[in-house]
Structure 1
Amino acid sequence: MMGIDETFAKRTGHPSGASGSADVAPVATRAPEAPAPETATLHPDTIAAIMAANHGDPFSVLGPHQVARGQWEVRAVLPEAKGATLHVGGKRIPFERKHPDGFFVARLPSEGRPLYELVVETWDGVERSRHDPYGFGSSLDQADIDNLREVGSNVTYRILGAQARNVDGIEGFRFAVWAPNARRVSVVGDFNTWDGRRHPMRLWQNGGVWELFIPGLKAGAHYKYEIRGADGSLLPLKADPVAFAAQKPPETASVLQGTNTPAWHDDKWMETRGAKDPRHVPISIYEVHLGSWARVAEEGNRYLTYQELGERLIPYVKEMGFTHIEMLPITEFPFDGSWGYQPVSLFAPTSRFGTPDDFAAFVDAAHAAGIGVMLDWVPGHFPLDAHGLGQFDGTHLYEHADPRQGFHQDWGTYIYNFGRTEVSSFLAANARFWLEHYHLDGLRVDAVASMLYLDYSRRQGEWIPNRYGGNENLDAIEFLRKTNEATYAHAPGTLTVAEESTSWPGVSHPTYTGGLGFGFKWNMGWMHDTLNFMSKETIHRRYHHHDLTFGLLYAFSENFILPLSHDEVVHGKGSLLGKMPGDRWQKFANLRAYYGFMWGHPGKKLLFMGCEFGQEKEWNHNQSLDWHLLDDGMHQGVKDLIRDLNHLYVGTPALHERDTEAGGFQWLVADDQDNSVIAWARKGREAGEVAVVVSNFTPVPRTGYRIGVPAAGFYREAINSDAESYGGSNVGNMGGVQAEAVESHGQPYSVALTIPPLATMIFVRQD
């Protein structure tokens, strides 16, 4: 049997090593400073401070302390105890109650620091044995704490939060939280009756991190932090900023999860995703709000679980030909109506749909089906909920104190203080966490414009200029650059995408050229202009033709994604189908023509759920999509068109290989505003890889319409949005046309086409 001193040496970091189980990380603990040879007995005021949870250094009081040569005291706070004994060396030594609320002291002879267990007799007569958290040394390292200031490091989620640990065969959880201005921090939970006296933490003065190992805790327990602020006031209980799981709202506690690696089966996917340049591969994204894609009406309109989404959503996305799923934010958030854009627990997948392991299994299933998974990520703001990050330690820790810098007027939320390195490091580590721990394939960064501009949505006098007098948020710019550098360095092959609505230069350019370092940028201008054109009555479209062509003036200035996102079908904007003019037939024809135009246009694609089958109502996050509409042939026709467009796009290099290169695009017809006809050629990397896109945005068919083409050959009519199978009038070209050696539109060859009404055709050249 191991002796007391030998066992203690292992707990306190002796080179003989700490042991651990296979599924819980072992840890070596830091040896505490050697006690003074003689320590005075506790003063009653010290005991009173401990019992009032008002003592800032609990390890100086609780646990084992040498009080005389060869004499030790063990002190414990046990409010639930009728009595207690100390179990050490096969003996039981009684505790003496020193405070009526449960402060106990036991004195014992020992030549070295004793190793012991507490045996507590509760008021109902039950005895329970447990290890004392204050008998363990620290398991943190000053170098790791220092690295909390390194933006781009993953140390935040390696050391903070509630980490499963094994100390000399004793399993439990090590809690660590950054709260530098707090007077006292305690772990509270359902394991200690939410009593802040039971588990106060130790403070690392150089770094502001509070830490405590609590032996015996199991995954699934609920916890928060009880914090006494800098001014001595007791704050509302706070969720763990680095919690890896959380309760299902409206409950707000964090949940013990640990960071055990999920059971992945996607090794091949992870090995190969970094081998391709995303700019040259097909990317067609299905944007999804997991809570309203489909619900179970017969069971109280409940959500689908992660498992059910894996069984239903993933096969649907695969069949429809999309390459990626992009989820609206699933980092735990309290208010359903925020759609996830006001998150509180950035490291926890929402429990609305299941456990963190269930979420990982969903991602694993997507990868098995060849589908990438992306997340809408929100580093731009956070909500004011009392259990969240706001005034976390009694000061404006994560947010700016001045509301001109730290408060979003539009959304009623706090703004992160990107100039505080610990905050930027926290956020950058969170980005890495989702890409590395959960194997996500990309992050779409929300509201980037609000981060870049100090005067975003503010009038004169409501914002503070930067040190040069400008409106650029220099700290946010630096944060975005470092985060993009870190994600691409540590998760190659993943995407970072900016939702950025201004003309900020170089959003998707490398940081070494002065860019922000994103992989892609949403083309908000294209979306706005083309939807404006499509909303016009067809007779008036000739006066808005520039809305179709203007985007090509800057189409290759960034790596663009063409977004038809959730933002276009909420807040009174109606559905995409509802934006289209004309009678019912024309509305569907317009929508199909627009989709064909979009899939033929340079840029990667993104479509919000429901738009693929012509959802008629505006999106409502509280209910399922209207899947019953697919019983109508017109809606089914739109869905079939999107499926065929995706498969053509993926299988045709000319339509995706050079999305971001001017050399992959050539105008054929840009100026026929009177007929609202537009045409261009798309080119692949190999000679002869050509696709021709032709759109007619009037209800008048055009016959014998000659269009120049760049090469000889047969041009197969691969897509005709007017096909009868899609709900159209079936006007077309009998499968394709042969190019003639007749010059037209500056091209050596041309084709004479029959162009259907309100339709887009895509022709693929064949030798």
Structure 2
Amino acid sequence: MPNHIANIDNFLAPYSDVINSRTQRAIDKEHKLSDRSLYDFANGYQFYGLHQVDDGWIMREWAPFASAIFLIGEFSSWEEREEFRFSRTDNGNFELRVEGEKLQHKAIYKLKIHWENGSGERIPVWATRVVQDDDTKLFSAQVWQPSHDFVWKNDKQRKKVEVPLIYEAHIGMATEKEGVGTYQEFTAEILPRVKKAGYNTIQLMAIQEHPYYGSFGYHVSSLFAPSSRFGTPDELKELIDTAHGMGLAVIMDLVHSHAVKNELEGIGLFDGSPYQFFHDNERREHAAWDSLCFNYSKHEVLHLLLSNVKYWLEEFHFDGYRFDGVTSMIYLDHGLERSFNEYKLYFDGGQDEDALTYLLLANKLIKECNANAMSIAEEMSAYPGLATPIEQGGIGFDYRLAMGTPDYWIKLIKDKTDEEWAVGNIFYELSNKRAEEKTISYAESHDQALVGDQTIIFRLVGADIYWAMSKKDKSLSVDRGMALHKLIRLLTFCCAGDGYLNFMGNEFGHPEWIDFPREGNEWSYKYARRQWSLVDNPELRFEQLDAFDKAMIALQQNEDFISQPHIECLEANDGDHVLALKRKDLVFVFNLHPTASYTFYGVSAPAGKYNVVFNSDEKAFGGFDRIDESIDYYTRPEAQMSNRHRVHLYLPSRTAIVLKYTPPKRMF
């Protein structure tokens, strides 16, 4: 197979047998799971859980260690009654039929499960609606059966996203109020902002229900329930449908790498057994994350997780997933004790082969549900083949996140003076990607904005972010910070592998870190929100950073340069701090020198004419308006009769210009 990953990357040739065996293992597992297709196999949510039928309701749960299960709620005065006792069927399944109208829309319920030497109240594993009591703070399942099914209006607007420009967002902290935002508020207030900003994909965090708000949605308790703290399932559907009508795709963070340890809200001790869905040994608990690790070798776990993959795509019309914590999934030590500085560490037996099988099957299922859906791996070990097609020996993700890029920028800002920034090294770090795998690049995401860390703008500007962001103020710190903030983003953007991501608010330099309500901050929402009034205020410089970001995104929309994977380095002069790159018909020229501006600076370039289509020094972007965009630039030969040409430019300090190339006209 000429396109096999081991043929594309010769360093993988010694491991081709391992790679092939992993692919075959997944194929064999698929055949064992179903004699039809993964799509038919992943229907657990249609069988398990609570469903309305002609004569009432039917509910099923898998609880092999349980001895008895009762449905309890307001309808039973929260007591165990024989009419609400489940019957054991086969293979550890329990079933209950409730006749008539004993269950009503919005009724609150739980399960009372008995097992050997114990019992407890539990939320059903397959619950699709979970709510929290305002007074007791306890969670319960809720019957959700509106009188009318949701009607999707904008399905025809859904198209494949060729170059994802992703706006990462959190529903609860998307509004400016000091409280929890809602699906409805996001639909009305935030979707128009994302559309206007030019992004084509929204990535929603914290959708799956989670008991602790401050976990950012990464300690999931109910896999199938959209978080009720933001509103109802129908309101989430309305958000997605409205986004589709705007031409926006919507993907979600999918957390299948671990689950919350909470017993009352989660599934860690659902039927009294600690190993129903999780490992039963030292691998059960994730020491770094204080959570539980799924046992991907069990068919029932694969059924649960694959059904969950299908559920959100089919029932809510999501357009794909960002899989969280993939590194943790694929290594037995969760990747915590490895430096990943040699290839053998990817194939040394320290991998969770069952997790790799699951991920391959999940990616295959996604395409069976929606051929245009995308899957993105949050993975930091650079595992080879992760974003390579399955038929080429890969795991089948469409993209992987370039997780090293934010770390690189942070290290550069912290450890190097501006004079020590080496443009050649910057280009290498930003463009050094596996040629056969697609990547999503980003300068920072929500991770860098969390309390205890700092955003790029905070690192660059410091306290002046609070006191000197008026357009009337003079601050060298703000001038430097804004200039580098723009250059860092444009450098990351023009070197983006195959897509780009931004966390909401970072595009305009949001001044605050993210800190969810907790005892340590007296349960305050002050830092768990986005201050849109800052960017909406024409007297503040946040507006200028926002204008830059919009223009940068528009550059891709107009020129589609990211679809051209090849990036040519035309100039990398570390002494002058000048870097020039060519991608498609655009030439990006950066002068990162903190003080030196250059006149008539020759940059190696193909012969022809060049015109400025974008520059970071525009007054509207908070620059000093030193570049004349009306000039036509023509290359000159480096020497008489030379085939090498240079275009000569004025390069102010800490600026970038983007020129569009027009080839010379043929004389005959």
TM range (shorter): 0.7 to 0.9
Structure 2 residue 576 is matched with structure 1 residue 656: no
Q: Which SS does the other structure have where 2:493 is aligned? A: helix
| Equivalent residues of 1:164, 1:257 under 8 A apart | no
The Cα shift of 1:708 comes to 2.2
Contact 1:342 1:383 in 2 (8 A): yes
231, 239, 256: which one aligns with 1:354: 231
TM-score w.r.t. structure 2 length? 0.83
Query: Secondary structure in 2 aligned to 1:352?
Result: helix
Q: Deviations over 1:516-564 (max 9, x none)?
A: 1101000012232234334455544245852442342325342000132
Is structure 2 residue 551 aligned with structure 1 residue 644? yes
1:296-315 maps to which residues of 2 (within 5 A)? 296=177, 301-315=178-192
The 5 Å alignment of 1:364-379 reads: 364-379=241-256
Out of 58, 62, 77, the position equivalent to 1:193 is: 77
Name the structure 2 match of 1:439: 317
| 2:353 aligned partner, one-letter code | L
Q: Tell me which of the two structures has the higher relative contact order, counting C-alpha pairs closer than 8 angstroms and 6 or more residues apart.
A: 2
Q: Which amino acid aligns with 1:624?
A: R
The 1:438/1:707 distance shift into structure 2, 3 A limit, reads same
CA distance in structure 1 between the aligned counterparts of 2:543 and 2:571, rounded to whole angstroms:
31
Give the 3 Å change call, closer, same or farther, for CA 504–639 of structure 1 in structure 2: same
Superposed displacement of residue 602, structure 1: 2.9
How far, CA to CA, are the matches of 1:711 and 1:507 in structure 2?
Answer: 40
Give yes or no for the alignment of 1:738 onto 2:633: yes
| Mapped partners of 1:356, 1:553: distance in 2 | 42
- Structure 2 runs not aligned, ≥5 long: 1-32, 339-344, 462-475, 517-524, 664-668
Alignment-derived partner of residue 109 in structure 1: none
Say if 2:614 is the partner of 1:719: yes
1:763 partner SS: strand
Give 2:163's aligned residue.
282
Task: Give the Cα–Cα distance (whole angstroms) in 2 for the partners of residues 551 and 748 of structure 1.
Answer: 26
User: Residue 327 of structure 2 contacts residue 335 of structure 2 at CA under 8 Å; is this kept in 1?
Assistant: no
Pair 1:178 & 2:62 matched: yes
Report what 2:471 is aligned to: none
Within 5 A, what are the aligned runs for 1:532-543? 532-535=411-414, 538-542=417-421
C-alpha spacing 1:369/1:620, structure 2 compared with 1 (3 Å)? same
Could you tell me how far 1:261 is from its partner in structure 2? 5.1
Query: What is the deviation of 1:264?
Result: 0.4
CA shift for structure 1 position 258: 4.8
Q: Do the aligned partners of residues 193 and 148 (structure 1) sit closer, same or farther apart at CA in structure 2, a change above 3 Å counting?
A: farther
- What letter matches 1:410 in structure 2? A
Q: Is the 8 A contact 1:637 1:725 kept in 2?
A: yes
Q: Give the drift of 1:341.
A: 0.6
The offset of 1:612, in angstroms, is 1.0
- Structure 1 residue 598 displacement after superposition: 1.9
Q: Deviations over 1:25-83 (max 9, x none)?
A: xxxxxxxxxxxxxxxxxxxxxxxxxxxxxxxxxxxxxxxxxxxxxxxxxxxxxxxxxxx
Does the residue aligned with 1:477 lie in a helix, a strand or coil?
helix
* Number of the residue aligned with 1:98: none
Q: Name which of 211, 216, 223 aligns with 2:95.
A: 211
Deviation by residue 1:676-735 (Cα, 9 ceiling, x = unmatched) = 22111111xxxxxx011111222222221111223523x232221111111111122433
Say whether the 8 Å CA contact 1:282–1:650 is kept in structure 2: no
Size of the aligned set, in residue pairs, is 584
Matched, 1:394 2:280: no
Q: 1:763 to 1:357 in 2, by over 3 A?
A: same
Q: How does 1:139-158 map to 2 (within 5 A)?
A: 153-158=41-46
The 5-angstrom pairing of residues 655-694 of structure 1 reads 655-658=561-564, 661=565, 664-670=566-572, 672-683=573-584, 690-694=585-589
2:287 pairs with 385, 392, 409, which one? Answer: 409
Q: CA deviation at 1:247?
A: 0.5
Q: Is the 8 A contact 2:460 2:477 kept in 1?
A: no
Provide the C-alpha distance between the structure 1 equivalents of 2:201 and 2:128, rounded to a whole number of angstroms. 25
Listed as ranges, the gaps of 5+ residues in structure 1 are 1-145, 461-465, 684-689
Contact 1:509–1:515 (Cα < 8 Å) also in 2? yes
Residue 602, structure 1, aligned to residue 496, structure 2: yes
Structure 2 SS opposite 1:580: helix
Q: Distance in 2 between matches of 1:423 and 1:482?
A: 13
Equivalents in 2 of 1:197, 1:214: separation in Å? 12
State how far apart, in whole Å, the 1-side matches of 2:601 and 2:318 are.
Answer: 47
Shift of 1:362: 0.5
C-alpha separation between the residues in 2 aligned to 1:553 and 1:303?
40
Partner of residue 534, structure 2: 629
Partner amino acid, structure 1, of 2:370: A
Q: Give the match for residue 760 of structure 1.
A: 656
- Give the superposition deviation at 1:451: 0.3
- Deviation of 1:187 (Å): 1.4
The structure where helix makes up a greater share of residues is 2
SS at match of 2:448: helix
**SS of the counterpart of 1:385?**
coil
Q: Do the aligned partners of 2:424 and 2:579 also contact (CA within 8 Å) in 1?
A: no
Deviation at residue 432 of structure 1 after TM alignment: 1.5
State the SS of the aligned residue for 1:174: strand
Q: Does 1:268 align with 2:268?
A: no
* Alpha-carbon distance, 1:182 to partner: 1.0
1:189-588 residue pairs with structure 2 within 5 A? 189-198=73-82, 199-205=84-90, 207-215=91-99, 216=101, 217-229=103-115, 231-235=116-120, 237-248=121-132, 250-258=137-145, 262-270=150-158, 273=159, 276=160, 278=161, 281-296=162-177, 301-387=178-264, 388-395=266-273, 396-402=275-281, 404-456=282-334, 470-535=349-414, 538-542=417-421, 545-554=424-433, 556-563=435-442, 564-580=444-460, 583-588=477-482
- Post-superposition offset of 1:149: 12
Counterparts of 1:82-101 in structure 2, within 5 Å, are none
Contact 1:328-1:375 at 8 Å conserved across structures: yes
User: What CA distance in whole angstroms lies between the structure 1 residues aligned with 2:182 and 2:337?
Assistant: 44
1:702 is matched with 598
Give 1 or 2 for the bigger CA radius of gyration.
1
Change in CA separation of 1:607 and 1:394 when aligned onto 2, cut-off 3 Å: same
> Which residue identity lines up with residue 186 of structure 1 in the other structure?
F
1:432-477 Cα deviation digits (max 9, x unpaired): 21112111112001110000100126669xxxxx9x9721000000
Could you tell me how far 1:164 is from its partner in structure 2?
1.7
State the AA in 1 paired with 2:318: L
Check the 8 A contact 1:392/1:398 in 2, yes or no.
no
For the residues of structure 1 that align with 2:259 and 2:131, how far apart are their CA atoms? 18
Mapped contact 1:148–1:155 kept (Cα < 8 A)? no
Paired residue type of 1:438: F
Deviations 1:74-128 (A, max 9, x none): xxxxxxxxxxxxxxxxxxxxxxxxxxxxxxxxxxxxxxxxxxxxxxxxxxxxxxx
- How big is each residue's C-alpha offset from its partner over 1:220-279, in whole Å with a ceiling of 9 and x where there is no partner? 1111211112x24112x1111111111036331111125985210012124xx2xx4x4x
Letter in 2 for 1:668: L
Aligned-residue Cα RMSD (Å) equals 2.5
* One-letter amino acid of the counterpart of residue 645, structure 1: M
Separation in 1, partners of 2:607, 2:304: 54
- Write the deviation string for residues 645-702 of structure 1: whole angstroms up to 9, x where unpaired: 111112212x2222xx3xx3211113x111222111111xxxxxx0111112222222
Runs of 4+ aligned structure 1 residues displaced above 3 Å come to 146-152, 248-251, 258-261, 457-460, 534-540, 542-545, 746-749
Letter paired with 2:450: V
Q: How far apart are 1:376 and its partner, in Å?
A: 0.8
Contact preservation (8 Å) 2:419, 2:593: no
The letter of the residue matching 2:88 is: L
Q: For residues 289-308 of structure 1, what are the alpha-carbon distances to aligned partners after superposition, in whole Å with 9 as ceiling and x for unaligned?
A: 11112143xxxx33332122
585 and 747 in structure 1: CA distance in 2 versus 1, 3 angstrom threshold:
farther
Letter in 2 for 1:656: I
Residues 208, 223 of structure 2: 8 Å contact kept: yes
Classify 1:755/1:173 alpha carbon distance in 2 versus 1 (closer, same or farther; 3 Å).
farther
Q: Distance in 2 between matches of 1:285 and 1:574?
A: 21
